[in-house]
Amino acid sequence: MSKLIGKTAVCVALLAVLLMIPISRLFGQAISSQSGTPSRPVVTEATAPAYDIVSIKPNKSESGSVSIHSNDDSYSATNVSLKRLLEDAYGIKEDLVFGLPGWANSARFDVRAKIVEPDVEVLRKLSRQQRRSMIQQFLRDSFQLKAHTETKVLPLYEMILVKDGPKFKESAPEGSPEDKSPNGVGRGGVTVYNTELTAHAISLGILANMLGDRLHRTVADKTGLTGKYDLLLEWAPEDDPDASSESSAAPFFTALQEQLGLKLQPSKGPVDTLVVDHVQMPSED
């Protein structure tokens, strides 16, 4: 009887020791052989990396040239206003940013932001919203920015088809013999030169966005067309005194209808805006 009790005690003690060992250690070899490579943590907006080095300096060149470049591990902007930076950070057009002081539109800055030891694989997987959150973070730190988004009912244009339907064709499949770049524009690209727009294999949503930039008003795509299209559009300069004559190109709204079969219809609707609650000029580095 005492031998049986002794063996039972040993078994219980051994079980207790085993229970203290993590499962991953007990079966580590089997788990490793099944997974192949260790998994990376999922990067969410909350866990998106922050730039390690951020430099924001005033630009007093009075140049009209503006540039913004974004790479996996860096962000740079030259001769930009805070208002333009907010558009990049929140994806909301400058015209829909409210509550800014005058200097936020007039003062110009040079911005350089960089991650010192980047995890290339993680950075390549960042979504557009995660990259925006990285810009938002250094704007909060450098400009003491406090802002919130707000939906407002505002005037907008609804982009609809004219009665006769569209006057453009869907792009040919990529790589096919018919897939030709109009005026050298690559697939998914849009160029605007003076009063001529050329697009190759773009959605009408992208066109609506570009029209909104030009007209300083939101343009909502209501065409119901979901393909990729090649577009060519020419219109008369706004200051052309003969814009209504037969020898001149048509004014913008007329050209849009006659050449593309698209009409911009005034309307009102919900629009996402950015309201700035607090902001201040950054201190010089």
> For a pLDDT cut of 70, what percent of the chain falls above it?
79
What are the CA-CA distances from residue 240 to residues 203, 234, 263 (Å)? Answer: 30, 14, 22
Nearest to 144 by CA among 277, 18, 5: 277
pLDDT in tens, 9-31: 444 343 343 334 343 333 333 33
d(CA 242, CA 247): 8
Q: What is the pLDDT confidence band of residue 250, given thresholds at 50, 70 and 90?
A: confident
pLDDT in tens, 21-57: 343 333 333 333 333 333 333 344 556 789 999 999 9
In this model, does residue 84 exceed pLDDT 70?
Answer: yes
DSSP H/E element including 167: none
pLDDT in tens, 161-175: 999 999 999 999 998
Strand order in the sheet with 196-202: 189-193, 196-202, 229-234
The pTM for the full model equals 0.69
